[in-house]
Structure 1
Amino acid sequence: MATPTEAAATESTERIDPRAQLADWANANDEWVRLLVAEVIATGRPAGTSVVEKAYLLFRQEKALDERELPAIPMLDIEAGQDESAPSLSLTRLSEVRGVNALVAGAVIEPHEGLTILYGENGTGKTGYSRVFKALANSRTADTILGNIDADTSEAQSARLEFKLGEDAQALIWMGELGVSPFTRMSIFDSPAVRTHVDEDLDYVYTPASLALFNDVTTAIQAVTAQIDAAISELGSSGSGLLSRFQRGSTIYPLIESLGASTDLADLKARAKSGIDVDQQLDALTQGVAALRANTLGAQIAGLRSEQRVLSEAGTTAEALLGFEQDKYNEALARRAQLTSDYETFRRELFAAADLPADPDDSWNDFIEAGHTYRQHLVEVEAHDADRCLYCRQPLLDPARDLLTRYSTYLEDKISADIRTTDTTLGAYKRQAAALQGNEMGSFIQQYKDADPSERPTYFAQVEEIEGARCAVATAVVAGHPVSIQIADLVAKVRADVDTALSTVGNSISELEAMQKGRTEALVDKQAELLELKDAVELGKSWSLIETQVKSAKEADRLKTLKRPLPSLGRSVTALAKTASDQLINHSFDALFLEECEALRAPSLKIQFVGREGKAQRRKVLSGKHKPSKVLSEGEQKVLALADFLAEARLAGITAPVIFDDPVSSLDHRRIKEVAQRIARLADDNQVIVFTHDILFATTLLALFEKSKRCAYFQITDENGKGKVSRATGPRIDSLSAIKGRINSTIQAAKQLDGEARDALVHTGYSHLRSWCEVFTEDELLKGVTRRYQANVQMTTLGNINVDKLGQIIPKVCEVFGEACRYIDGHSQALITQGVSPTLGGLEQHWAELQELKKLNEGKTPDGLDPNRAFLEDRLV
């Protein structure tokens, strides 16, 4: 039965080449589409600007928008072929890393062509180097790289990378850019990528060249669509400024305003006028309108109306002056003067004997009236006391009462009442005089006073006479003086002249208005006629532009109609791309993913393949609808993400380094071993770089490469600064073979020395011997059922223990282990035994015994021992 990978490979040979599918699709469409597809398939690149423009021209000619000039595009005949693979990429050296986190300068990493392990505890600087690789690859989880935040100044990011592209050795100075070719082909897995690989709808990092052609075709179709949109936009703006040549109000204007694809050009052209006769008619109408528009009647009417306002005001003022009672006014004024004299005489005589501090005047009068007002108020509120002074509240004596009586007599005097009555009468005359208006007359007189008498209006003298009388009366009344002029003599005669002039002016205005009305109506008619004639003439002059705009509108409408099917054309490319991607990618990925899940014991689930806009995507679900992260444990999610990552990396054939950044966090020891084995198999044929802080994972990987040696190990520490890198053979591994080498080396060194130096080496040899006993018990006797670094008991290996030999082996192992404990510094000894030193012969003998015990456990020594090893037989029995 074929494996999933073999089945996928067999299926791939039976697939139709996507180029052929694309060609068949193009042959069923228009020539311009075939032109674009032929170019994309031939070059393997997006169509250039010149090709897009040619396709647009072919589109226009094919749709009969332009005359056909381009040659016909033949049917496409594509031979099936395969995508070319990119040359292999391998990293050979990373150095001169600067400005990345807090990494110290000077570190050098020289990755092995197989497996490279970069081991370091948390916080030692591993992440800085992994971030450099993520930035170069522009991986899905690439994040912002910061410099040393504790440094006073920031340093620019840079690094030197040496690599091989195919057989060519090259170098690159990286300056912090994201996504640097060819490193974008590297595949990188880290913990943040788990959620991405488990839950999200992922685009494939790898897109076959033939599948990328579909996107290029879609882009080219969109470019032609953009050309159509640009043409529609340009056609819509071709008539800009045409409307400004015509005048709003004509019957032609709305036709120009609504020019479009539906315009009847024949009807519009019938309205156009041209020729010498039309020009002469236009000149005659223009002159006639100008004459009517001169409007001299309007100026005459305006002048007469100004005269009418002057005469009207003069007549009104004359009438008011004649109604002014000049004699009564003068009498009231004389009476007011007499009353004032009598009042002063009365006041002086009344208070002559009152011993006032000063003569009674207006201020004194105000004082008396204020007291009188206050007394009335007290009477009203029933608080007046006639026996007390209003001001000092002292009792009134007879002299004071006599003075108050005089005050009352003064205030109630008839003369005062007569004065008030007379003042009221005079106030009325003042208001009457103030109401007389002379603005129009004043402006009129000011305008003509310096003019020649012959140029003055005939009624100038009359208006001037009336205005002079008005000024004399108003001035006298306001000043309180008698009016001395004879109003009737001055005004009566000129008033009649003014009324006559006013009547004459009114008649003139009526006559001129009647004449103007006829001219206005004639002007309106002639202006409308002129407007129509001008637009009819302009219509003829602008006919070529109008015709072009209408044709452009019709063409724009046709382009809009022809453009409607293009989105569905793009969707058909997307559907075709989805079918091709399903054949090229999805089936292969599905098989690879299942294979990786089986190798990593990842949980089984369903992969859905979804596509949008011609892009292939994958989605993983449980039971048809649940996201894996909602159901699976953290460890299950990790191995599931690893399976997805490895399947994607293998999809195109791995031609660049695969990088793992702490891939086993959250995994138990069994899964760690399975992941290590999978990575080891991957590194057999590919360059693999692993960042880890898990010592078990690192040692498991090293053990898997113990024979092939396709491995390099680097220790990353934070001694003297983060990110210090040193090449090492690996972490200390207490394997039997490693300890065996140390014991043999120690024995050989001890044979070359004597005295205390040999004694010290023998002690060291017994320390190694003790370690050998422990590892032998763990790995060989108990077959790894329990280990010091794992929490579980591995029951699956329990049946591998050689129980038949344990009775022979255990006592001797315990004996040698006890002897070794006596000679190491880690165990305190009794004083009596401290002087007993081990010998080199004893060390060799114990070492030989242990070697025979190992062979016995492995079944390499028969039950009857070699006679040459009698010392061992005696001890075992």
Structure 2
Amino acid sequence: MTLANDLATWVAERTDWQKDAVGRFCRNENLSEDAVNEIADHLIAGTYPSVAAITAADVPGTSESGESIRLSAVADVEGVNALITGQRLTFASKGLTIIYGDNASGKSGYARLIRQAVTARIKGDLLGDVFAKSVHDQKAVFEYVVGSTATTWALTQGTSRDLSSVRFYDEECGDAYVTTASEISYRPSALTLLDRLSAACDQVRQALSQRLSDNAALRMELPLLGEGTKAKQFLDQLSATTTREQIDEATTLSPDHDVSLSAKLRELTRLQASDLNAEKTRLAQLAAHWATVKSHSDQLAEAVTNQSFDNVAALAKSAIDLRGAAKIASAKNFDAEPLPGVGSATWRALWDAARRYSTTEAYHEHDFPVTTDDAVCVLCQQPLSPDGSNRLGRFDAFIKDTTSRDADAAERRVIQRRDEIARLQSAPAAVTTALSQLQAGGEDVTASQTWMTEAATVATEIVAWVDGTREERPTTSGVAPGTTIGERRQTLITASANIDSTSFNDSVRALKSEVADLQAAEQFAKAKDNLVKELVRLQARTKIEEARRLTDTTGITRKATALTTAYVTSIVRDQFTHETEQLYLRRVTLAPTKGRRDVTLQHRPRLLGAILDADIDDVLSEGEQTALGLAGFLTEVEFDESKSAVVLDDPVSSLDASRRSRVARRLAELARSRQVVVFTHEATFVNALNKAARDLGVDVAERAILRQGERPELTADKHPWSVKDIPSRINHLEAEIARLKKERGQLDSDEYTRRAQEWGGRLSQAWERVVNLDVVNELVDRGTNEVRPRMFKMLVGITEQDDNDYQSGYAKASEWAPRHDQAPETNFTAPEPDELEAELVRFKEWVRRIKGYKK
């Protein structure tokens, strides 16, 4: 997977606003203040629209098609710096295009225009003509080739994905590749998307923080409540999750609020005016009163329960049943017996005496009465006849039948229970007095009184049911208060027994707390409207805070670290080392930073093996930092698989001659595989580029940006004479001779003389330049004053003939040059083209021999 693919996959999993932001950065758009505020609004409202993720082709540094992007021309420029309109700056489709321009020629204007359209580590503002009296819209057309397809892009169209594959370098970018005050560090350009995303998170977070400040200013004025009160606790816990219902509940006063507050205030006043012994006695009396109430309550509870009623019902049913059975038993008639009074009390006594005699004396081994065939009557001592035996059996059955007696007993029990319940229909005077005393003492008797009233009603219904005046089963009352009363009584007993100065004071404090609770509740109720408004504010704040969490950069930092680790590998570091060594930089490598500043963990150049901890820009010279910046840029370019164009603006500022030559050769090497465009104002660097290109067989296209009077930015397809190297000057002189030959017949003597003298002057300058570059500079590098002893051997090769040719050729050219006024007596005649050509041949042959000596 490539860096672009990896990055695109990660972005696809981010939130919509971050996907959108990265998409904008891929199009080289910035987030305006309005855009940041719009993002913040959407995040707060949760309404950010769905956004499609970027693809690998969208990532800067990759063309949409994946093919090489080559610049063809920049034309139709308006409103950019002081560039004049109607110019067309072209670029060779391959090899090296060298664009020369003196200072203030407008070269930088074109460079900045290109920087605006392509990928650059640092993007500056593209200004118009600051001296113009009117402002013009900025326009420009870029002509370029994608693979083999020509296309165009206008500055007014927004960002071009294709042109983002073209990389740009200038001094500012070089600083960024090394380190600056903001610590912009070396990394593949695609990873700068994460830097920009982190910066965008900071911008949006700042906007949201401002909204939080605005929200805080809307905080409602709420009452100052006593510490520890329930209202204060609710207020302290008020948050966005609080509901309106909870506020309604917290601010609603109980129906007896005023009564309760008044009672507690009185009790507090009483306690504060009381003493320990009086309070001890008072509590004991209250406990006694509760005991009286509990006794009556327990009796009622036992009487009016379902079980109690079931028992009464069972007694009544038993009495009724027994009474019916008695009626049946009494229907038996003993009138036919020989003697009257059977069944009477006297008779029952006689029967009982006969039973005792039979079971203890006569027939102690048999149950009474004994009526077997040989039995004897225990009363008359006569054998029993069948009638006698039958009679004794009937007497025994009668005696055993107690139905009537049981019916009487059952009816008495029903009446007894009915009377017991009837007595509970009204509270005894002692109970009524106890309740009054308890109420006067501040005790809550409402629940107990209510229950006892309801229970007394149930008792009345039970009595009516027993009396037969009510058919419907009575409804029992609720849970009896006996347990609660008992607990309160015990609390009072304990409090009375344990009361001392500490517990008394605790009671006072507790009552004060209750009073404070009630008073705070009253304040809270009055502040309900402000509480609701504060809830709305807190809910809005929570949404802002939730939105702010979506700007966290932790995940971005982790991904940047992971991508940096994955793609800035040892291969990249090796390439970086290779680039630095080519530029005479030693002991410099790429290393991850130990911390993070505002954005992400990054890599940047570090000193290798340094003992002291020092910033690299405090150690390296200005020239070394320039070389280091170039090394970083060239490393990044080396790993661009699309082989798209590279544009550099004055890349050798602050470099010595030796490093300039190495940069020239490195750029020529780069131009073997891609289009390389170099803007420069230094003639020596132009010569170095030309030399390196010739050595490597790289095509060179000359372009120039010249001044036109006071106006800069006139483009040309040839370098001016002052920057041409020896081969270029020879070509120029040959072309001019050919034109002179062709036009000789049409030129008057003055025009021909002027052009011939100009040609002679340029040949003279060519002699000077070749001695300067190919002899003197080979022995001593004038940029570094380095003496090159090994090149002394070329002096040995120079012959007397070489010296004669140089003296003669340079003298002849100087004689023709227009630098001196020709004396009238010399009767100067301009040389003919053949004579000029002979001198050029002499020059070319001399140059060839001198170059041969260097080898």
Please classify the TM superposition score into its range, dividing by the shorter chain length: 0.3 to 0.5
When the two structures are superposed, what TM-score results if normalisation uses the length of structure 2?
A: 0.46
When the two structures are superposed, what TM-score results if normalisation uses the length of structure 1?
A: 0.45
